[in-house]
Amino acid sequence: MLFEVQDLSQASPATVSRCGMVYFNVEDLGWKPFVMTWLNSRRQAEIAMSAPKPDTTISELQDFIFNTFARTLTYKEAECQELVPTTALSIIRAFTRMFDALASTNASPVIPEGAVYKTTQAGENYIPQVRMLAMFCMIWSVGGSLTTQSRRRLDSFVREMDSSFPSMETVFEYFPDLDALRWKSWEEHTDLQKPYAPPASTPYYRQIVPTIDTVRYQYIIGELVRSQVQLVLVGTTGTGKSLVAREVLNHLNADRFVTTELHFSAQTTAKNVQDIIESRMEHTSKKVCNPLVAAAWCASLRI
């Protein structure tokens, strides 16, 4: 007799040891089963946030992913080059995690005075907001690891599907204004409009003048980190990966996060890493460590 179960969350170790696992090759299975599973969980999240018409929202997301997103993935694989190779499934996972982080009532507005993600007061604007956030997340999940030239190719392709973007810059230079339901340039961000005043206590070599790149990367990465999403920053030498990561850590809420920087080199050993991690934590038992305060622990690894 054979039983198929949904999970083993309530199974004892003895039961688990008797279970057989069926493995499906990701190339054969594809990414659509993962999307359907995520859509089911997203529907529950929509209901929990008291969002209007959750079934309509899920239908819109499904149509977007299986049509617009699928076409974009096909184009990326055929016409674009990446700094680090990614699979279709990893890109889909990046999209779903980014969408869950931004399409949430806990998400911060892109600009301090901007609109936050609302559900109960959005009314007829809710579905258009979802579409804009889905497009924004698709652009960055597909284009985040692309070379500069490939980003321009992707920009042209996206504009063929969506003509709502302004024509001045690439689609990477815009963020969704949820109040006005239009795309705004990152140049309009508050941090880029006010005069830069360096902190008096900050050494000259650590001062960071806000630019479009620093502002947009800090926002996107910051929201993903707050949602406890693990990230890999890719780029050529000297593009500011460590600088952006450090700024994100510095702006995290100290009551919610304990931060650490780890610098890897050819001489770094597993024991070094373990000692550094344990030095910033407390042992609650022989094999269990927790942050020194009731907060999440966030580490930046520089390799």
Same-domain pairing of 116 and 44: yes
In the chain, helix, strand, coil percent, each to 5?
50, 10, 40
Q: Supply the pLDDT for residue 174.
A: 94
Distance of CA 293 to the CA centre of its chain: 26
The verdict on residue 5 lying in a domain is no
Spatial distance between the Cα atoms of 303 and 300, rounded to a whole number of angstroms: 10
The verdict on residue 20 lying in a domain is no
Nearest in space to 172 (alpha carbons), one of 163, 183, 180: 183
- Higher-pLDDT residue of 232 and 135 is 135
Q: Supply the pLDDT for residue 302.
A: 74
| Residue with tokens 């184009």, as numbered in its chain | 75
Tell me if residue 111 falls in helix, strand or coil: coil
Region 286-296: what's the mean pLDDT? 74
Number of domains present in the structure of the chain: 2
The verdict on residue 3 lying in a domain is no
Tally: H helices and E strands in the chain = 12, 6
Using CA atoms of 285, 290, 292, 293 in order, give the dihedral in degrees to the nearest 10: -120
The verdict on residue 143 lying in a domain is yes
Same-domain pairing of 100 and 164: yes
Tell me if residue 257 falls in helix, strand or coil: strand
Nearest in space to 182 (alpha carbons), one of 141, 136, 151: 136
Q: Residue 246: which pLDDT band, with cuts at 50, 70 and 90?
A: confident
Same-domain pairing of 273 and 162: no
Same-domain pairing of 224 and 257: no
Bridge partners, 283 (sequence order): 289
Same-domain pairing of 277 and 213: no
The verdict on residue 15 lying in a domain is no
Nearest in space to 183 (alpha carbons), one of 129, 106, 232: 129
Spatial distance between the Cα atoms of 118 and 105, rounded to a whole number of angstroms: 6
The verdict on residue 203 lying in a domain is no
Tokens matching residue 35: 């999307």
Same-domain pairing of 246 and 257: no
Same-domain pairing of 104 and 223: yes
Q: Supply the pLDDT for residue 142.
A: 96
Residue 146 lies in domain: 26-195+208-229+240-251
Same-domain pairing of 218 and 281: no
pLDDT single digits (tens) 80-135: 999 999 999 999 999 999 999 998 888 877 765 555 566 655 678 889 989 999 99
- Higher-pLDDT residue of 238 and 113 is 238
pTM: 0.84
The verdict on residue 10 lying in a domain is no
Query: Is pLDDT at 77 greater than 90 in this prediction?
Result: yes
- Higher-pLDDT residue of 146 and 116 is 146
In the predicted model, what is the mean pLDDT of the chain? 86
Query: Is pLDDT at 258 greater than 80 in this prediction?
Result: no
The Cα-based distances of 143 to 87, 228, 281 in angstroms read: 13, 21, 37
pLDDT single digits (tens) 181-211: 899 999 888 778 788 887 778 787 777 888 8
Same-domain pairing of 260 and 167: no
Same-domain pairing of 159 and 274: no
Query: Is pLDDT at 230 greater than 90 in this prediction?
Result: no
The verdict on residue 11 lying in a domain is no
Cβ contact 143:216 at 8 Å: no
Same-domain pairing of 101 and 221: yes
Nearest in space to 184 (alpha carbons), one of 101, 115, 105: 115
Q: Is the dihedral of CA 116, 118, 124, 127 positive or negative?
A: positive
Same-domain pairing of 285 and 146: no
